[in-house]
Structure formats: C-alpha cells, structure tokens
Chains A and B, each alone.
Chain A
Amino acid sequence: MWRGLWTLVTRAAHGPRSPRSCMRQASGAPAPGSGATIFALSSGQGRCGIAVIRTSGPASGHALRSLTAPRDVPPPRSACLRLLSDPRTGEPLDRALVLWFPGPQSFTGEDCAEFHVHGGPAVVSGVLQALGSVPGLRPAEAGEFTRRAFAHGKLSLTEVEGLADLIHAETEAQRRQALRQLDGELGHLCRSWAETLTKALAHVEAYIDFGEDDNLEEGVLERADSEVRELEVALGAHLRDARRGQRLRSGAHVVVAGPPNAGKSSLVNLLSRKPVSIVSPEPGTTRDVLETPVDLAGFPALLSDTAGLREGVGPVEQEGVRRARERLEQADLILAVLDASDLASPYSCNFLDTVVTPAGAQSPNGSSQRLLLVLNKSDLLLPGGPEPSPDVPPHLLLSCLTGEGLDGLLEALRKELAEVCGDPATGPPLLTRARHQHHLQSCLDALGLYKQAKDLALAAEALRVARGHLTRLTGGGGTEEILDLIFRDFCVGK
C-alpha cells in the first residue's frame, strides 16, 4: 500500500520547480542538495498514534504555509496546533501539531518543517500527497535528511554513524553509546589525533617546500618525529580497547555450558523469557547449538545453549559436544551451569577441571575469557543443609524452577557484560564500528612506515596516508589545512 502511494506522490512532485531553485541552478552555484526541498514520513511506517512528517529545503516555509493556510508560519521552534488542509482543494486533512525550524538552526541546516499528524494511513497519505503537490517539493531518498545535515556541516561522519546506531539502538546501553557518539566524542578524539598528525605533516611539508632557502627554525623534523611517536602510543592504546565497542553494537557472545542435565536450557529459557530450548529431565536433550539474541541487564547479547559436555555417546551427540567446545572458545562470557545437588558426579568434576578452572587462570595471550559459575537446582538442596563443597570456585546459587537467585545472577551478568562490552557511561569512547578500527589500525601501520622511509618525500607520503585514514573518520583533510599551518608557524617565502 505504501509503495503505491509513493509513486503517486513522486508524480505529483514532478510539477514546476520553485522559482528559487531554478535561480540557484542557473547561477551554477554548487549548493549541496541543489535547492530541492525534500519531504518524508520520518516516524515508523504502519498504523500508530502519531506520525511525524518532515520537510527540508528552501520551500519548507512555503509548504508549511500552503498546508496551514490562511494562518501564517508559527514562531520558530515552538509547537502550534494547526488545521492542515489540501492546498489544491481546501479539503481538511487533520488537526496537527506543526513546528517551524528556519535554517541554519535546524537538523539539516536548511529550513525545516515538521507535521505531527494522527497516525492513520489515510491521514498520512493525504498529507504526503498534499506536500507532493506543492511546487519544488519531492520525496526524500533514503538517508537524504542525514546526508544534508552532513553536507551542511551539522553532523560529522562519526556523528552520522552514531545517529544510525541511535535509530537502531535496541537496548538501553546501545542507546547511550549511540548518544555519546552522536555528541561527537569519538569524533573529538579522532579530530585531536588528526590535528596532531596534520601539524606533524605540515612541518615535514614545510621542510620539503621551504627548507632549502628559507630559514625555518631548528628542530622542525625532530618535533614532527616526536609528535608521531606520541600519536603511535595513543593509537596503540586505544586499539587494544577496540573489540569492546564492537561487542556492544553486535552483542556479546554468552555461551551457556555445563555437563548434561544441569539445567542449561532452563537457564536459557529463563534469561530470554521465551521457550528457546526444549527442556526435559533426560540428559542430552540439547544436541546442537541454539542461539538467541537477548537483552541481558541492558546489554545486547547472543545467548547460546549448548549440548551437555560428556564423552562416549552416539555420533550425533558427539558432534553436538564438539560444537559446544568450539563455541566455548569463541565466547566472550561463559555461563557455566552445574547441578548443585550433583557436584560430586564425574561429569561435574570433569567440567570443573576442564572448563571452569582453566578459565579462572589468566590465559597466556591476555585475552579476557570471563566465566560465571552458576549452581542450578538450589531448590533441591536441603534447607539449612551443608553448603556445596568448599572446593567449588566462587559461584551463584540459582533455581530455574523457582526463580530464586535470578536477581543476583542478573546483577553479576550486568557487571561482567559491562567489562566485556565496556560501560558506555564511563571510560574512553569505544570503537563501535569495524570501519573505525580499520582506519585507526591503518593509520598506525602508516606511522610505522614513516620511521622506515628512505627519504623525506617517502616519509611525508606515509604521514599523508596516515592522515587520510584519520580524516576518513573525521572529515576534512584537504591540503589547504596543511598550507594554513605552514604559513601560521613559519615565516617562509622570499
């Protein structure tokens, strides 16, 4: 139904252009977006309480006036109730809140208008068609509002990506991360690195272009060298942190493992609040790895239920055990589950020895594989009876049946996941995209080439490559910036 509507609207939008947009084109001024005014339904599609329709571009004010005639445009940035009617027929469409954001103080930097209409499809399509009939307006392409904001310098590239994440933030922690990035925190950090690098490069470039007959001060190259060294250290430290931000975007891998019939599937179902796995008293019910995305204490996680670990069973279950072990190696966090009433069994002892104890020891490569030991079926323990064996490492007691101990587990999970993913409320800005990590790593690699270069032109090339990678995160990066720095810092030229 929406698709059909768009063709209608598009057709309407191909009417005569507004005089202003014609003028701009004729003058050949390369204005971003070339003067067209765009509109789109900005809230989600389908039936809803309120739907938001936005316009951006020079004809926004005209569009707003056309739909709210005979009343004038409301004062900037304040919500007003208006009767919307079709400018062609005068037919009333809806009583709606309208907002007027004259540029450049708007999201895109252009004149913008917002219509908060009732969310019925008939109302929405009526308003969209009415907008399409206004000269100079056309439907926006996907992402065009954000692109215009970027083109007008309202958002940097990292902020644009942060915004995309905000729109798709499924959990509270992701939302906070996205908000922080939207503030440009990663952008700020990258910009300060890029500034350092630009300065170092400017000094090397000055030495190349002017070192021969102008008197640059002593030590220009030495200063560039030391700046590059400092930058290498900072980048290296940040990159060691890099996997955390990625986990936050795509979810930490949490693997539930344990001997057969410890209650792993029950725990998965309890945490995901839905029957993901079949639960039965029979050992070996789960044979394959079952995955489900969940929100664990505000963090996104991919929860995997695995086959109980035991040897000497049929080939199908054996394959399940192999997959379970493989999954354990990739896990960001292991939820190890044991039957509290069955700790002395060979399966339990074996699991404690082969999985729980090694994870507790610091692995040689320093990678953090975290583990939470959960003793399930606490309801089977005798009230006031002996504590489980003192040999068992630190653990949490839980009853999947009664739900007792669940709050404690969730709190423990929150702490662990905050470590694994990085808590967005504290700590340095995280690298949330593989793209960021890629460019920072490439930047670092190029800085390595700087030191090995055979001549100064080759060394400068390495710095240019490094700077290119940073400015792909921050925007900017033209040669004019270099020249500005050279002429600010040196008295050159004859």
Chain B
Amino acid sequence: MFSFRGCGRWVAASLTKQHPPSARLSGENAAPGTPRFDVVVVGGGHAGAEAAAAAARCGSRTLLLTHRADAIGQMSCNPSFGGIGKGHLMREVDALDGLCCRICDQSGVHYKVLNRRKGPAVWGLRAQIDRKLYKQNMQKEILNTPLLTVQEGAVEDLILTEPEPEHTGKCRVHGVVLVDGSTVFAESVILTTGTFLRGVMVIGLEMHPAGRLGDQPSIGLAQTLERLGFVVGRLKTGTPPRIAKESINFSILNKQTPDNPPTPFSFIHETVWIKPEDQLPCYLTHTNPRVDEIVLQNLHLNSHVKETTRGPRYCPSIESKVLRFPNRLHQVWLEPEGLDSGLIYPQGLSVTLPAELQEKMITCIRGLEKAKMVQPGYGVQYDYLDPRQITPSLETHLVQRLFFAGQINGTTGYEEAAAQGVIAGINASLRVRRQPPFIISRTEGYIGVLIDDLTTLGTNEPYRMFTSRAEFRLSLRPDNADSRLTFRGYKEAGCVSQQRYERASWMKSSLEEGISVLKSIEFSSSKWKKLIPEASISVSKSLPLRALDVLKYEEVDMEVLAKAIPEPLKKYTECRELAKRLKIEDWGCE
C-alpha cells in the first residue's frame, strides 16, 4: 500500500467542478461517461475529510462529494480542537495517520494541556485554532492526497443493487445520484452529512431550512434513507453569537495564558508551527442575574428551547443553563477565532433568542458592555439515524457497503466526527478489497468506546466523549495511542505511512529497552538517597531499590535519574517524548 504514496505514479487529487477526470473510468455496465470510484464520501466536514483521506491512504480510488469545496475543513462551531476525552480521540486518529492532529499543529493559536495535575491518563490536549488557517491547511492536505478526487455537488439519492449473499442486508449500494441527475458509481459509499439531513436553523421564532449558516439542507437523501427503513431521530444543537474583538474591554477580565512550550497533538511532530510567545490569550467573564432575567422574560420568543428535541446536556444553551441551574453565575470564555480575525467566540453563550435580544443580553455581561454582535447565535435541528443500525465497522445493517460517520450517527464534536471518519474510510476501503473489517474494541481505544456505545446503546442526545465513559482509562492514555493503534493500522488496514510506522516502532523498542535498563540498575536506599537527595526515599528500607522504583517518586523524572547515573541513562533523555513516556509508563504501575 505504502509504495502507492510518494512514488509519484498517481496524479495528485484535483478539484473538479462536476467534471471528474474521465481517464480513470471504466465503462463496463455503465452509461458512457459515468464515473466510477472505489469509495465515494458524501460530505466534506470533519468526518468526511478524514474518511476520504483514510480511504485514499488505504489505496482506494476515492471521491469526496461536497456542497462546496471551499467549505472543506470548516470549523462551523467553536474555534478549538481537543479537550479531555476529545484530545484522547484525536491522538488515536493521529495514530491511524488521520489528519486533524497534524492540521492543528499547523493552525493553533493557543495550545494548552488540561488536567495537568490529575494524572497522565486524563491529560487533555487542547488548542484554540485559527479557523482560516485550519481550513486552508486541510484543503491543501486533501487536494494533495494521492487517489483522492474532490467534486462539488449535492447527493439526492443512492443507487442500489442486489445484495451479496454472503453478507446480511437487504440490498447493496452501488453509487449515488446527484441533484442534477448525474450519477457516480461506487463500490462503497460513506455518508457524512452532519446536520444537513432535514436541517433547520432557528433564531427566536424564525426557522429556516439550512444545514449550516448559508448552506442548503439535504431533503431528498433524508427521504431516501427513511424509505429504505432506517429509523430516524431528531436532535438539536446550537452555536453562540460572534462578537467584534475591538468592542470588548479585555483589560478588566481574567486572562488565560497558553502553555509555553506548547505540546503538539501529533505523534510525528516535535513542535507546533507558532512561536510560543506569539500565541493568543483567552479571557474569562461570567453571566449575571440580568442575563437570567432576559432569558426568562423572553422564553415565549424562543421556539428552539421549547421544542422537545433533545439537545446536548453538556453543551447546553444559556437558556437551558438558566432554566436548570438558576441563580448562578455561568462562565463565558472569550476565545480568539484566529490570528488576524476580528471575531471573538463567546464559549458558553450558545443562544437562540431573537437577534436584538441576544445583543441586549451580551451587553449586560462584564467586559462586553460595549460589545458589537457581528453574527447572532442560532440553533440547528437535524435528523440523525439510530446508530444501532450500524455495525462496529460503521457499515449499515440494512444496506451493504453503505457507511455512516459523524453527526449522522448522533454524535457531536469535530473530534468524534473525525474518529468515526477514519474508521469508516478504512472499512469502506477494506470492504472493497474483501478484507476483514478493522474494529477497535473498548479495551483498545476511545474510538472503540465511542463506536461500541453508539452501536450497542444508541443515543438520544448528541453523544460526546468523556474519559468517564472509558472503562480502561488508565491504559487508554493520550501518550500511548500509537502503541495501541499504529501497528494495527499499518498491518491490518494499510492506512499508516511508513514514516509513522517506523517512528512508532522506534518508540516502542526504546520504551521496552529503557524499562529493562531501569530494572537492571539496583542500589541500596541509602545510596539512592545520596544520589538523589531531593527524593523522599525512605532509608529504613533494607531491600535494594531499582531505578524503576525510584522513578515512581513524584519528584523524580528521567532527567533527574540521568543526572545521577549518566551512564547508561543519559541516552533516554535525548528524546524528550521518550523520557516523558518512560515516566508515565512507570507511574501507574504498582
């Protein structure tokens, strides 16, 4: 598989507006000129981009179909990636050579690892991202992926054919029909339609059919899926208004500074693109009783809040926070949208009041007294398909070779979408090659937890990842995602580059070697005390201590050990990541 990449034989993907390159097509059983691909991905959001790139990495000729090619990689809600649980998912996507970590390392403006003091199993990598840069970098990556073609167009229907007798399912998907009536044949189809299935935008009492601000919803496709017998549910989500940066009085607000140095997301990056001192700060302010008042007095103008459709409990609108937890001050984080962006994203202020009331509410918040609202917040209601209708490989039970990934399965979040995208892309490709599916279990990764929860329990609210969902949290750490998944991805799916595979192999053998060396160094506790006076080693213990036991002390790390015993330990501190991982590997063991 890997020889395909970088050998230059394949034409780099090209952006074609409804004119796919006919040179690649075979004419058998098809109308002349009908394009034919191994994998067609419908949707260019975070799930779609990862799915298309993963299928192409696995060696499938892949077509990414999207409403607007210039919206690929668009971050349509918050300007940040990662967090606790979500950061875990991203590291696993990266371990499978997915895109989001690498793009974040090239686009972040404020990197911060959360939960530093609560143990390495729950560290949460997070960054504020420059929206524009992310989109640019993602589009560059997608358009330069070998075997991957991008085409603009809205999908209206699926082409179905006889099922394969050796699999379950009542029919098999064989391609898609676009709104203009043209068709594309495909061996596998992945739907990553996000909030576009019968999407409706809500501000106040106004409702507009739309998938995202300024984009048309998919109605025909939703009808097709319902006709096929898929059980459809409805969910809602929302996004806050955007505020003009220069209209905010930051000087009276709490400032949150980023990490210095920033920790990169990707296993293959040593550093991120931005200079630590060039990073942007975030600011914290709070709601107050005046905000509660405006919300409560205007509930009759707010149809989104009254609807029975389930919204996320953990990403609540300001209305539901006020209703469920009255008389409290709620946090509002003011986050930059980008280096040269004039917009601020008020995280925590998701709202669907009529626009003029939104502005009124904003201006009674400290620091925002003179704030100018550039774009109102709005709610989105959309169809999702009960994810119990898909297998752990994300293929549907009903229609063979049809895969779902992202919000269509009832999840929320860029990271959850990206994680499903990678798995759907890999499996759509493996299915074409008639190879067994690539399934991650709950014991192997957060991706496994996510997909297992979805496919066995379903969900009735937008599903988001938390570390509390993982039973094996102590082993499923952000630091070791590569040792859990990279080798499987390389051998079973073929979705991992040679470079990454070699890096992960080196890391794995260095860790094993390091631990056996640490086991072999043994001194009396009094000698250790002399070597490392700053460690609280009890000298009353008569048994000799290994270097591995000493490393368990909170105040001891590999640097300290190597200073005390340069030979043979010094070489394990040359790679900072290796030194850190040795400490972590040793930390939780008894």
Listed in ascending order, the chain A residues whose CB lies under 8 Å from chain B are 28, 205, 207-215, 454-458, 460-461, 464, 479-480, 482-483, 486-487, 491-494
CB distance from B242 to the nearest CB of A (A): 15
What residues of chain A lie closer than 8 Å to B115, measured between beta carbons? Answer: 208, 211-212
CB distance from A309 to the nearest CB of B (A): 47
CB of B304 within 8 A of chain A?
A: no
CB of B132 within 8 A of chain A?
A: no
Pairwise interchain contact A491-B325, C-beta atoms closer than 8 A:
yes
From known contacts A454-B587, A479-B468, A493-B313, infer whether A213 and B331 are also in contact, taking CB-CB under 8 Å.
yes
CB distance from A469 to the nearest CB of B (A): 14
One of B63-71, B118-126, B219-227 at the interface: B118-126
Task: Report 29 cross-chain contacts, Cβ distance below 8 Å, ordered by A residue.
Answer: A207-B118, A208-B115, A208-B122, A208-B467, A209-B122, A209-B467, A209-B468, A212-B84, A214-B331, A215-B329, A215-B331, A454-B119, A455-B117, A455-B118, A455-B120, A457-B119, A458-B119, A458-B588, A479-B471, A491-B325, A491-B330, A493-B312, A493-B313, A493-B315, A494-B315, A494-B331, A494-B333, A494-B347, A494-B348
From known contacts A455-B118, A491-B330, infer whether A461 and B397 are also in contact, taking CB-CB under 8 Å.
no
What residues of chain B lie closer than 8 Å to A493, measured between beta carbons? Answer: 312-316
Task: Kindly report which residue of chain A lies nearest to residue B314, judged by CB atoms.
Answer: A493
Closest 7 CB pairs of A and B: A455-B119, A457-B119, A493-B314, A205-B468, A491-B325, A456-B118, A457-B121
What residues of chain B lie closer than 8 Å to A486, measured between beta carbons? Answer: 468
What residues of chain B lie closer than 8 Å to A482, measured between beta carbons? Answer: 468
| C-alpha gap A28/B314 in the complex (Å) | 32
What residues of chain A lie closer than 8 Å to B587, measured between beta carbons? Answer: 454-455
What residues of chain B lie closer than 8 Å to A461, measured between beta carbons? Answer: 473-474
From known contacts A208-B84, A454-B554, A494-B347, infer whether A487 and B124 are also in contact, taking CB-CB under 8 Å.
no
Given contacts A210-B84, A213-B114, A456-B117, 7 further A-B contacts (CB under 8 A): A205-B468, A208-B122, A454-B119, A487-B314, A491-B325, A491-B330, A493-B316
Task: Kindly report which residue of chain B lies nearest to residue A493, judged by CB atoms.
Answer: B314
State which residues 298-344 of B face A: CB under 8 Å: 312-316, 321, 324-325, 328-331, 333
CB of B377 within 8 A of chain A?
A: no
What residues of chain B lie closer than 8 Å to A464, measured between beta carbons? Answer: 471
CB of B85 within 8 A of chain A?
A: yes
What residues of chain A lie closer than 8 Å to B474, measured between beta carbons? Answer: 457-458, 461
CB distance from A492 to the nearest CB of B (A): 6
The interface residues of chain A, by DSSP majority, are classed as helix
| C-alpha gap A483/B85 in the complex (Å) | 14
From known contacts A458-B588, A461-B474, infer whether A208 and B118 are also in contact, taking CB-CB under 8 Å.
yes
State which residues 87-133 of B face A: CB under 8 Å: 114-115, 117-122, 124
**Chain B interface residue count: which class?**
35 or more
CB of B466 within 8 A of chain A?
A: yes
Of A214, A454, A494, chain B has the most CB atoms within 10 Å of the CB of A494
CB distance from B555 to the nearest CB of A (A): 12
CB of B469 within 8 A of chain A?
A: yes
| C-alpha gap A165/B573 in the complex (Å) | 62
| C-alpha gap A227/B229 in the complex (Å) | 49
| C-alpha gap A482/B468 in the complex (Å) | 8
| C-alpha gap A177/B397 in the complex (Å) | 49
CB distance from B213 to the nearest CB of A (A): 20
| C-alpha gap A491/B287 in the complex (Å) | 13
| C-alpha gap A483/B313 in the complex (Å) | 10
Of B114, B119, B468, B554, chain A has the most CB atoms within 10 Å of the CB of B468
CB distance from A77 to the nearest CB of B (A): 35
| C-alpha gap A455/B316 in the complex (Å) | 30
CB distance from B243 to the nearest CB of A (A): 16
CB distance from A457 to the nearest CB of B (A): 3
What residues of chain B lie closer than 8 Å to A210, measured between beta carbons? Answer: 84, 314
Pairwise interchain contact B84-A487, C-beta atoms closer than 8 A:
no
| C-alpha gap A184/B466 in the complex (Å) | 34
What residues of chain A lie closer than 8 Å to B347, measured between beta carbons? Answer: 494
CB distance from B360 to the nearest CB of A (A): 22
| C-alpha gap A479/B84 in the complex (Å) | 16
From known contacts A28-B397, A458-B588, infer whether A483 and B331 are also in contact, taking CB-CB under 8 Å.
no
Pairwise interchain contact B466-A483, C-beta atoms closer than 8 A:
yes
| C-alpha gap A492/B466 in the complex (Å) | 12
Pairwise interchain contact B469-A213, C-beta atoms closer than 8 A:
no
CB distance from B548 to the nearest CB of A (A): 15
State which residues 72-95 of B face A: CB under 8 Å: 78, 84-85
Task: Kindly report which residue of chain B lies nearest to residue A455, judged by CB atoms.
Answer: B119
- Kindly identify which residue among A28, A456, A491 contacts B321, using a CB–CB cutoff of 8 Å: A491
CB distance from B321 to the nearest CB of A (A): 6
What residues of chain A lie closer than 8 Å to B466, measured between beta carbons? Answer: 205, 209, 483
CB distance from B585 to the nearest CB of A (A): 14
What residues of chain B lie closer than 8 Å to A457, measured between beta carbons? Answer: 118-122, 467, 473-474
Of B120, B333, B473, chain A has the most CB atoms within 10 Å of the CB of B473
Pairwise interchain contact A483-B468, C-beta atoms closer than 8 A:
yes
What residues of chain B lie closer than 8 Å to A487, measured between beta carbons? Answer: 313-314
Pairwise interchain contact A213-B397, C-beta atoms closer than 8 A:
no
State which residues 571-590 of B face A: CB under 8 Å: 587-588
| C-alpha gap A455/B583 in the complex (Å) | 14
What residues of chain A lie closer than 8 Å to B121, measured between beta carbons? Answer: 457-458
What residues of chain B lie closer than 8 Å to A456, measured between beta carbons? Answer: 117-119, 122
CB distance from A368 to the nearest CB of B (A): 37
What residues of chain A lie closer than 8 Å to B315, measured between beta carbons? Answer: 493-494
CB distance from A204 to the nearest CB of B (A): 9
| C-alpha gap A172/B348 in the complex (Å) | 64
Task: Kindly report which residue of chain A lies nearest to residue B115, judged by CB atoms.
Answer: A212
